[in-house]
Amino acid sequence: MDEHKGRLRASELEDSGDVGINPTANLTMGEIIAARFNRRDLLRGSLAVAAISATVGTRALAANEQPARKAQAGSFDFAEIEAGVDQTHHVAEGYDAQVLLRWGDPIFADAPEFDPMNQTAERQARQFGYNSDFIGFIPLDGSSDRGLLVANHEYTNEELMFAGVGIQDSKDADFAKMTKELVDIEIAAHGGAVVEIRRVDGKWQVVKDSRYNRRITADTPMEITGPAAGHERMKTAADAGGRQVRGMVNNCAGGVTPWGTWLSCEENFNGYFWGKVGDNHPEARNYKRYGIGTPAYAWGKFYDRFDIAKEPNEANRFGWVVEIDPFDPNFVPKKRTALGRTKHEGAAGITNRDGRYVIYLGDDERFDYVYKFVTAGKVDPQNRAANLGLLDEGTLYVARYNADGTGTWLPVVHGQGPLTEANGFRSQADVLIETRRAADLLGATKMDRPEDIEANPQTNRVYVMLTNNTRRKEDQVDAANPRANNAFGHIVEMMPEGADHASTAFKWEVLVKCGDPAVASVGATFSSETTRNGWFGMPDNCAIDSQGRLWIATDGNNAKATGRADGLWALETEGELRGTSKHFFRVPVGAEMCGPCFTPNDESLFLAVQHPGEPEDGVQASFENPITRWPDFKDGVPPRPSVLVITKKGGGKIA
């Protein structure tokens, strides 16, 4: 925040401890001594004591002195790239990285070409939006060479998109340079896109005249469904029924269901709302818990609904998981309230052995929680239409990680435990609208910013990315969040009891503590086979390919933090090499790595390069003076967030 004079940049919303702070004192497990060290930690000598950490550092350093060393019988064959930072992207030798869709690319046959000096909201609504995070690929006719790419457009960088604007500051300048015209472009650049793509002669193409292509924006009409739909707290002047809302915002990661819908997750929705409600307002406690009141966008200047002083319930209509049917361009997106209201990172799921669908959900804020949702009904492979109602009925749970390596899923259900009228919850709608406060009362474990969570269908193990938390103090350390001042994050692996994702019991262990293993004080626990290029910090998005291998995308690495750009790393999870990481791809300066998504045959890998050229570490950047002009590198053209597709030269699986 400091380097931007108080402007809370959208990307910093998720890295800010100034918003949505978890106020409860009960759940850092301060009373639980971090006494649990799993077998692998012991074998690797990764106990958090200096002497042993130093040993780890020495061992890692010895391996690091041999960067070309090939991992013994590992799952990944590619030749690792050099870690570093420069103006462009880098992929492992033997692979092509094709720029498939850039911000502003037309996605309809009659859509206008990108012209950064003459952009309008109307043009933007016919073009690919800004800053994709989640990417999904939904095959057409079972093909890995033809399908629907679904992409979230999470947020906008006005300083890089618009000439003469620079970084706008809500406190100093009241977003003075943000006109209604520019705000309307931003609204049209948010949301998501459905784009048919096809691979012809090895190259991927956009099918601009596809009947499936669609842009969804922060103004697209949507329906609110599930237990909170129609509740008094969801009603506004524009929607007396509490069931219709315009748009989705800050859609970060998501998921694709087995019935071929796209789940798109509203994350830092608080940054879009202006104004205040008084301390005695019925929503005051709710809005404080979500950090509403520190706008990152000028929208409230022109639209009353983005000002809670004028429309106090509108913010309750954001923070949900949105289900979209990409096969029907007229489908009204559904905000599925049964899955809870948080700063949702993602919504990746797995069909449980009993046929129910289970979705894992991270709430990306320091000291917030890991959730899962278990449908009441079963997935019906024969009846797609029946599955479209599945996400409206089921049970939401929040995770408690015990110090002995066990864990419990606590039902977030009205009437159970403290979730009663005495605590202000008169119905399940109240519980869902204030999911965070309900989870506080249940005694969930405060985590180090839970991001993507993916279940491996081959092993039923579940991987939780915990990106970082530099505000965790020594006396707040617990077994599942074992480092104070956790600058580099870690990954937790969860094993549902009996491989049953609907069970309320699980076991867990820390898979890896991230950061530079050569620096003893960091306490990283990558395996000693990991090279100096192979380690990473700040795990964020992840994917499991069809071979069951785990790939990690990062957000927050840069020259100062880790001496490397964000990128994609491949991480061994099984056997002797477990905890060994290899560097596959890196982004240009200022960007974070998003996606990742494999086609079912593992031959194509979609990656999203989000906010290339975004100012970082006090380095200023603007439309006029960007720190990179990736990927076009043309004078006058700003950096453009883009989706890439990686394929192997000459064909074959990504190895």
Residues that bind ligand FEO (CB under 6 A): 14, 133, 154, 252, 267, 345, 364, 451, 540
Nearer to Ca ion, 28 or 541 (CB): 541
Q: What does the DSSP 8-state code read for residue 363?
A: B
Q: Find the part of the chain contacting Ca ion (CB under 5 A) among 86-94, 140-148, 219-227, 251-259.
A: 251-259
Nearer to ligand FEO, 430 or 451 (CB): 451
CB of 129 to Ca ion, least distance (A): 16
- 330: phi then psi, degrees, rounded to nearest 5: -100, 5
540 binds Ca ion (CB under 5 A): yes
Look at residue 105 and give the partner it binds from ligand FEO, Ca ion, none, a contact being a CB closer than 5 to 8 Å depending on partner kind. none
DSSP state of 521: G
Least Å distance, CB 133 to ligand FEO, is: 5
Which C-beta is closer to ligand FEO: that of 41 or that of 451?
451
Shortest Cβ 80–ligand FEO spacing (Å)? 26
Which amino acid belongs to residue 381? P
Q: How far is the CB of 26 from ligand FEO (least distance, A)?
A: 25
Q: What residue 478 binds from Ca ion, ligand FEO, none (CB within 5 to 8 A, per partner kind)? A: none
The CB-of-28 to ligand FEO minimum distance in angstroms stands at: 21
Question: Quick check: bond before 600 cis, omega within 30?
Answer: no
Nearer to ligand FEO, 154 or 186 (CB): 154
| Residues near Ca ion (CB under 5 A), total | 4
Residue with smaller CB distance to Ca ion, 440 or 540: 540
**How far is the CA of 330 from the CAs of 216, 326, 465, 566, in angstroms?**
11, 9, 35, 37
Least Å distance, CB 416 to ligand FEO, is 29
Tokens 């964000």 belong to which residue? Answer: 566
DSSP state of 410: E
Q: Which is nearer to Ca ion, 11 or 170 (CB)?
A: 11
Q: How far is the CB of 216 from ligand FEO (least distance, A)?
A: 17
* Residue 364 binds which of ligand FEO, Ca ion, none (CB < 5-8 A, kind-dependent): ligand FEO
Considering only residues 252 to 281 of the shown chain, the ones binding Ca ion according to CB under 5 A are: 253
User: Are 602 and 547 within 8 A, CB to CB?
Assistant: yes
Would you state the structure tokens that stand for residue 284, as one six-digit string? 């005051």
Alpha helices in 45-141 (DSSP H): 50-64, 121-124
Tell me whether residue 239 or residue 555 sits nearer to Ca ion (CB atom).
555
Minimum CB–partner distance for residue 467 and ligand FEO (Å): 7
Nearer to ligand FEO, 206 or 465 (CB): 465
Half-sphere CA count of 359, side-chain side, radius 13 A: 34
Beta-bridged to residue 102, according to DSSP, are: 642
CA distance 609 to 630: 10
User: Cβ of residue 552: shortest distance to ligand FEO, in angstroms?
Assistant: 14
Q: Please, which residue, 405 or 450, has the CB nearer to ligand FEO?
A: 450
Q: Which is nearer to ligand FEO, 14 or 440 (CB)?
A: 14
- Rounded Cα gap, residues 90 and 76, in angstroms: 18
Residue partners of 421: CB distance under 8 A and separation at least 6 = none
Picked from ligand FEO, Ca ion, none, the partner binding residue 193 (CB below 5 to 8 A depending on kind) is none
CB of 344 to ligand FEO, least distance (A): 9
363 binds, among ligand FEO, Ca ion, none (CB under 5 to 8 A by kind): none
Give me the amino acid identity at 155: Y
Q: Select 267 or 283, whichever has its Cβ closest to Ca ion.
A: 267
We find the least distance from the C-beta atom of residue 269 to ligand FEO, in angstroms, to be: 11
Task: Enumerate the H helices of 20-141 as residue ranges.
Answer: 39-44, 50-64, 121-124
Q: Which is nearer to ligand FEO, 345 or 614 (CB)?
A: 345
Integer Cα distance of 304 and 313 in angstroms:
12
267 binds, among Ca ion, ligand FEO, none (CB under 5 to 8 A by kind): ligand FEO
Min dist CB 130 to ligand FEO, Å, is: 13
Cβ distance 654 to 570 under 8 Å? no
Distances (CA, A) of 625 to 159, 160, 239, 622, 629: 10, 9, 43, 5, 9
Give the whole-angstrom CA distance, residue 570 versus residue 533.
Answer: 12
Residue pair 431/410 in contact (Cβ under 8 Å)? The answer is no
C-alpha dist (Å) from residue 297 to 217, 236, 283, 402 = 15, 21, 21, 40
Q: Which does 368 bind (CB under 5 to 8 A by kind): Ca ion, ligand FEO, none?
A: none
Q: Is 463 helix (H, G, I), strand (E, B) or coil?
A: strand
Stretch that binds Ca ion, among 257-265, 549-557, 571-579, 632-640 (CB under 5 A): 549-557
Distance CA 60, CA 531 (A): 8
- CB proximity list for 597: less than 8 A, separation 6 or greater: 135, 136, 137, 543, 605, 606
| 493 touches, from ligand FEO, Ca ion, none (C-beta below 5 to 8 Å by class) | none
- Kindly tell me which residue out of 239, 434, 493, 555 binds Ca ion, with binding defined by CB under 5 A: 555
Contact indicator for 644, 90 with CB cutoff of 8 Å: no
Chain residues binding Ca ion by CB under 5 A are 253, 540-541, 555
